[in-house]
Chains A and B, each alone.
Chain A
Amino acid sequence: AQRVTQPEKLLSVFKGAPVELKCNYSYSGSPELFWYVQYSRQRLQLLLRHISRESIKGFTADLNKGETSFHLKKPFAQEEDSAMYYCALSSTQGGSEKLVFGKGTKLTVNP
């Protein structure tokens, strides 16, 4: 069965400090991984996906199959990064794909 684990429920850093939000997964197949973000009073939205190998708003995430991890990193956190972050895994089942989320990490960036 597929599972996504985000060990930190809360993470607090100061502006300008590096930030890393941890995500580990378990899945027997080839994983498709994503990070979603939910800013205050906004809907959940895609931040980045591993297949694109992109950097969005200064965030990057590298898939490490050996460690089954997909940690989200940013070298210099900004106050506007404060939000709820969810790691997600897409898995194939019955010919279609479903999206399973971790429990989320609430990031607070203090001034």
Chain B
Amino acid sequence: DAGVIQSPRHEVTEMGQEVTLRCKPISGHNSLFWYRQTMMRGLELLIYFNNNVPIDDSGMPEDRFSAKMPNASFSTLKIQPSEPRDSAVYFCASSLAPLNTEAFFGQGTRLTVV
């Protein structure tokens, strides 16, 4: 398995545009997490899914952010419209419950909104 795969690796977009980040979890993993990493706030949990169902989206900053997991092998995080303060590195991670095993992270998507 190639591990958790995120795309794109880098995204530069103009303020107001829609941005879609993609994640392919490790096959067989039943939990998927989206995190945002910034210098100021560290690694924030945005939303997580268990068996493709969103469990907790309380970390999603505002309505401009949405996430979906249509099947066990794919998830998206969408920002519409994007703003400069959304610039960050977005990580996707997957794990096989129970979580006291290990969460595996993707390489991240570096988003820059200008």
Contact = CB atoms under 8 A, between A and B. Distances in A.
Given A49-B100, A101-B45, A104-B42, A96 B108 contact: no
Given A32-B99, A46-B103, A97 B45 contact: no
Nearest to A44: B105
Nearest to A6: B42
Contact of B98 (A45, A94, A97): A97
Contacts, number: 63
Contacts of A101: 35, 42-45
Contact of B33 (A46, A98, A103): A98
Contacts of A56: none
Interface residues of A, number: 22
A97 B31 contact: yes
Contact of B45 (A98, A103, A104): A98
A59 B33 CA distance: 26
A86 interface: yes
